[in-house]
């Protein structure tokens, strides 16, 4: 399973990425791809309380994509869906393939 499995386009044209968050980590950023769940793994230093981890996830991903990122599902879960505004699915996949090591 490749990193493209976690990227999907909705009927209205929005691009969503399925992620798995690791709150309270010692470092921040994209740390891998969970092949079993088909989700991008994102580590953040913020703890999972009062939306701090969600804000950190959006900050990390918006820095990577240089676009606005918003959590659209899974606000209280480690498994989330985030929306990236202003990029196509292919552009996102290209960026992610440069960050995640191939098998």
- All structural domains of the chain with their residue ranges: 3-92
CA 31 to chain centre: 10
39-43/15-22 β-pairing: parallel
pLDDT of residue 71: 96
pLDDT of residue 81: 97
Residue in the block written with tokens 């968050």: 21
Q: Is 3-92 a domain of CATH 3.50.50.60? A: no
Whole-prediction pTM:
0.90
Q: What is the pLDDT along the chain (103 residues), one digit of tens a residue?
A: 789 999 999 999 899 999 999 999 999 999 999 999 999 999 999 998 999 999 999 999 999 999 999 999 999 999 999 999 999 999 999 999 988 876 5
22 CB-side CA count, 13 A: 15
């Amino acid at each position: 399973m490749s990193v493209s499995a976690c990227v999907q386009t909705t009927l209205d044209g929005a691009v969503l990425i399925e992620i798995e968050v690791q709150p309270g980590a010692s470092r921040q950023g994209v740390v891998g791809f969970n092949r079993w769940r088909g989700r991008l793994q994102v580590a953040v230093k913020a703890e999972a309380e009062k939306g701090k981890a969600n804000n950190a996830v959006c900050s990390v991903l918006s820095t990577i994509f240089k676009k606005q990122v918003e959590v659209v599902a899974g606000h209280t879960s480690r498994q989330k869906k985030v929306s990236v505004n202003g990029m196509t699915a292919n552009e996102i996949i290209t960026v992610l393939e440069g960050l995640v090591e191939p098998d």
